[in-house]
Structure 1
Amino acid sequence: MIHHVSVGTNDLARSRRFYDAVLSTIGLSFMAQDDEGIGWGSGLMSFSVQVPVDGKPATVGNGNHICFAAEDREMVDRFYAAALEQGGTSDGEPGLRPKYDAHYYGAFVRDPDGNKIEAVTYSAK
């Protein structure tokens, strides 16, 4: 089981505004913040944005993305809408992705730093 996942940021305040709005739509809550990062979580899993420890600018990995589980399609839709409202960009509108599974309903966005995130459900609702 994954304990936590972190992505880089070049602007903690901007990331806080973005992820507070986006992650709350899928049930993750703010946990902590310091000068180097911010964390959100639910149960045993946590997600954070961090200023790179090497002091260099944060960059995005091509082909990497983090997918969050959603309870239903409405939750995926809210995740996507919140991301766009907070300055994220679309990387795939909410919808069925039958090439993955007949019930795979997901949405892909890029955060303001360019990190790719997704919300998915297999629920028919």
Structure 2
Amino acid sequence: MIHHVSVGTKDVERSRRFYDAVMEVLGLRLLKASDESADYGVSTIIFSIETPVDSKPASAGNGVHIAFDAGGREMVDAFHRVALQHGGTDAGAPGLRPEYDPHYYGAFVLDPDGNKIEAVTHHGK
């Protein structure tokens, strides 16, 4: 079981503007923040953005993405819309992905640092 996931950022303040809005859509909230990181969850931290500990520039991993479980298709649609409004880049519009599963409905975006994130649901609505 995954405990939490962190992605690197070059600019915590810029990334917070993006993730504060996107995480709210997914039902997560900012639990802790500093100049070096921001941590999101419900009662415990499950997702963080942070400047790399080695002080080298953050870079997105090619082929890596993080999928967040959405409550339904409307949440996936809102995730995509809000992400684009807050500096994200479209990496796959909301829609069915029958090549994964007949009920797989997801949307993909790149955050301001190029990290690929997704919202997905298997619910019909």
What TM-score do you get using the length of structure 1 for normalisation? 0.97
Aligned runs of 1:1-125 on 2, under 5 Å?
1-44=1-44, 46-125=46-125
Structure 1 stretches (4+) deviating beyond 6 angstroms?
none
2:39/2:45 contact within 8 Å kept: no
SS at match of 1:56: coil
1:41-90 deviation digits (Å, cap 9, x = unpaired): 02455100000000000001100000000010000000000000001000
Q: 8 Å contact 1:22–1:82 — kept in the other structure? A: yes
Residues 6 and 48 in structure 1, CA contact (< 8 A), matched pair in contact too: yes
Identity %: 62
Taking structure 2 as the reference length, what is the TM-score of the superposition?
Answer: 0.97
Hey, what's the Cα distance between the residues in 1 that align with 2:3 and 2:31? 14
Task: Give a deviation string over 1:75-113, Cα, whole Å, max 9, x none.
Answer: 000000000000100000000000000000000000000
Q: Residue type matched to 2:118 in 1? A: E
Deviation at 1:35, TM superposition (A): 2.3
Q: Which runs of 5+ in 2 are unaligned?
A: none
Residues paired across the two proteins, number: 125
